[in-house]
Amino acid sequence: MNYFKTALLLAALTGFVLVAGYLLGGQTGLVIALVAALGMNLFAYWNSDQMVLRMANAQEVGPQNAPELYNIVHELAQRAGLPMPRVYLIDEDQPNAFATGRDPEHAAVAATTGLLRYLSREEVAGVMAHELAHVRHRDTLIMTVAATLSGAIGMLASFGGLMGGGRDSEGRPLVNPIVAIAAMILAPMAAMLVQMAISRGREYEADRMGAEICGQPQWLASALAKLHAGTQQIHNEAAERNPATAHMYIANPLALAGGMSSLFSTHPPMEERIARLQSMGGQTYAQPRPLASSAPRRGPWGGAAPQTPRRGPWG
C-alpha cells in the first residue's frame, strides 16, 4: 500500500471521528471529537513507544545480556541504513515481535523470549528484518495514529448516550436518536475496517522489504509458519490484556475463535504472506554476509543454549 492510499485512509479515520462526534453531540460533540483526536495523537506522537512497551512489559536489553539478538538487530540495521534501534525483550512464551517509535531515530524493536526459544537464528533475523522494514517506512507512527483515532471514535461512542446530542430551546433533541444510535454502532465498525486496511497493507510491504533487508525471503517465510502455529497454541498475556496493541505485532497475538473472527483480524492471512515470500525466492538479492559470528548459540537472556535445536510445542 502506498503513502497516498494510507493518507486517504487516515483522513477517512479523522473524518469518522468528527462525524461521530457531530452525530452524537451536535456542534458540541464535534468540538469534543476534534479536541480528543488532536490530544490523543499528540500524546501518541511523543509517547507511543514507551506506552506500547510498558503495556507489553518489555525490558530493554543490550549486548551484555542479549548478545545474539542485539547483534542480529545491529547488523540488519546497518544493512537497512537505519540508526540502531533500542532492543527490548518481552517475557512471554508466545513467539512474536513488534516495532514502535515515531521515527527511525526514536525506534525500538521488541521480541518475546518465545521467539528466541522456538525459532532458528536465521528465522529470528527474518522477523527482525520485517520489524526494521516497518521502522524504515515509518509504519510505527502511522499505525499508532490509526489506533488512537480508532480509540477516539470508540470513546465518543461510549459517551454517546451521555451526550444525547443536546436539545433546543423547546426541549427537542437536536439529533435524531435513531441517527445517534446508528452512529454509536456503525462508526466504531467503520473505524476498525479502515484500521484493518492500513494494517494489512503495511504487513505485506514489510514482508517484502524485510526479505530484501535480510537477503533471504525463505527465512521470513519459515518464521511466519512457526509464528502462525505458535500464536494459535500459546496465549500472550500482555497482548490479551491490551488488545489495542495487537496490530503492532508481526503475527496476531490474540486468541481467535476462528470462523467469522478471521474477517476482523488486523493481519492479512498468514498463508498469503508465506506464499508471497516464497514467490520471491527466485529473485536476486544482494547476498548478505553471515550473521554475526560462529560462536555457540545463546539463550534469550544471554545464557548458553542447548546444543540441539529447541522446538515449539507444534513441532
Which of the residues are catalytic? Answer: 131
The amino acid that residue 97 corresponds to is: A
Cell 483480524 belongs to residue? 265
Which has the closest alpha carbon to 133: 164, 99, 156? 99
CA–CA distance from 260 to each of 168, 185, 199, 246, 257 (Å)?
A: 43, 18, 18, 18, 8
Which has the closest alpha carbon to 266: 280, 251, 279, 276? 251
The amino acid that residue 63 corresponds to is: P
Distance CA 119, CA 4 (A): 36
Angle at 158 between CA 157 and CA 159, to 5 degrees: 90
Provide the 8-state DSSP code for 130.
H
In a 10 Å sphere around its CB, with 0-12 CB exposed, 13-18 middle and 19+ buried, how is residue 301 labelled?
Answer: middle
Cell 522489504 belongs to residue? 209
Which has the closest alpha carbon to 188: 159, 148, 161, 153? 153
Q: From edge to edge, which strands make up the β-sheet containing 86-90?
A: 58-61, 86-90, 108-112, 97-100
Classify residue 26 as left (phi > 0), alpha (psi -120 to 50) or beta: left
The amino acid that residue 204 corresponds to is: Y
Three-class DSSP category at 1: coil
